[in-house]
Amino acid sequence: MIPGGPGGVAGPDGAAGAIPGGPAGEAGPDGASGVIPGGPEGTAGPGGVSGSIPGGPSGSAGPDGVQGCIPGVGCIG
């Protein structure tokens, strides 16, 4: 947990599940958080890559740490 941030599930390696100013989310693998500052909640992808992109809608995380397709935007990575 980081001071001033919302509650979240703590990730491995001591990483917090939530980032200040962002919504709560489940922590991803390798200590990466499932939520990016200013963005919506999303499911954390493998390899420490988050399933959501800042300012964009929630999307499913792709395999091998690649971000999945985002509705109305397309595939990234």
Q: Residue ranges of the domains in the chain?
A: 1-77
Both tokens of 28, joined, read: 């991803």
Mean pLDDT (the chain, rounded): 50
What pTM does this model have? 0.16
- What amino acid is encoded at 4 in this protein? G
Model confidence pLDDT, tens digit, residues 16-32? 454 454 555 555 444 44
Model confidence pLDDT, tens digit, residues 2-21? 445 555 555 444 444 544 54
The rounded distance, in Å, linking the Cα atoms of 68 and 6 is 25
